[in-house]
Structure 1
Amino acid sequence: MSEQKLSEVVSPDAVINFESGAIKASTLDTIIKLLPFEMGFCDANDIFRWYSNNPGRIHSRRKAAIGRPVLELHPKVAHYVEKLLNDFRTGKRDEWEFWYPKTSGEETGQIYQKFIAVRDENGNYLGCMDVTINMDLFKGKDGVRTPDTIEEFKAVKPKE
């Protein structure tokens, strides 16, 4: 697989057509960077291929990891990762999720991580996607909480 960026293969103005609509390649790249969670993907051969480059990532990623076997990237838990990927490949499992406290870096939080088998429309295994979210991001900032009901939402007055 080539190391080229999407913008090197297609014009940033190229439109990507999805089942649910169409969007310019450059806009899609920008949207992915704004998502309040991070994602990664390894292909059907367990090669790490892509990650979202969101600011404030929970898991640091290096561009040098792209194209490497995912088991080499996680030597301390390689046997667990291998079992998970084999379960995805064989169809024994389609997803796996867990929660854990963030224990490194400056930020704290309750981390949610989900691994998802990616399959084509015929059920063929294409790889594994992971999604990681710091759930504390959804608690509000500086003691300000989000409204619990639509009525509370409607009652919020804009700041002047």
Structure 2
Amino acid sequence: MSKDKLSDLISPEAVINFETGAIKASTLDSIIKLLPFEMGFCDANDIFRWYSNNPDRVHGRRKEAIGRHVLELHPKVAHHVEKLLNDFRSGARDEWEFWFPKRSGEESGQIYQKFMAVRDENGKYLGCMDVTVNIDLFQGKEGKHTPDTIDEFMTVKPE
């Protein structure tokens, strides 16, 4: 089975039921691609299972990484990753966040990354989710304006 398309894995018309509503798989996939941040997930056995396929990613991801042990994917910092995941698993820690400078090209700027333990309603560890944000997306870009009040927001004309 190919991992190239959502329709190869689940019917795009399949409805996923959540506590807060229901949504078609194809719609959820499209929404995730629009989010201004990227996400990844490794399961309780530290196997990398999923990542959001956002355009203009901060971290390059490859489909070949899916199904591999997360420590294989980060050999230079494997001991730190292992400690973090063990802390999540034991309950010693539920999240960890940090900022770091962009590392590619001549661009300057900051990246924010947060790792979170995913647990079920009984507290059982299900895995680790990471969220990565290019902070520059949210800092004053020339020509962009954030309204200070709701009245100012109401007067803004769509581009």
**TM-score, length-scaled by structure 1:** 0.90
Q: What CA RMSD, in Å, does the superposition of the two structures yield over aligned residues?
A: 1.9
Aligned to 1:30: 30
Structure 2 gaps of 5+ residues are none
> Pairwise mapping of residues 28-107 of structure 1 onto structure 2 (< 5 A)?
28-105=28-105, 107=107
Q: CA deviation at 1:9?
A: 4.1
Paired with 2:90 and 2:51, the residues of 1 have a C-alpha distance of 24
For the Cα contact (< 8 Å) 1:7–1:25, is it kept in 2? no
Q: CA deviation at 1:72?
A: 0.8
Aligned to 1:117: 117
Distance 1:23 1:108, change over 3 A: farther
Q: Percent identity among equivalent residues?
A: 80
Q: CA deviation at 1:40?
A: 0.2
For the Cα contact (< 8 Å) 2:2–2:8, is it kept in 1? no
Q: SS at the partner of 1:55?
A: coil
For the Cα contact (< 8 Å) 1:139–1:146, is it kept in 2? no
Q: Which moved more, 1:2-11 or 1:112-121?
A: 2-11
**TM-score, length-scaled by structure 2:** 0.90
Structure 1 gaps of 5+ residues are none
Aligned to 1:17: 17
Report the residue type matching 1:53 in the other structure. N
Q: SS at the partner of 1:144?
A: coil
Paired with 1:71 and 1:78, the residues of 2 have a C-alpha distance of 5
How far does the alpha carbon of each residue in 1:92-134 deviate from its partner, in whole angstroms, 9 at most, with x for none? 0001111111121465422111000001111110100000001
Paired with 1:79 and 1:141, the residues of 2 have a C-alpha distance of 38
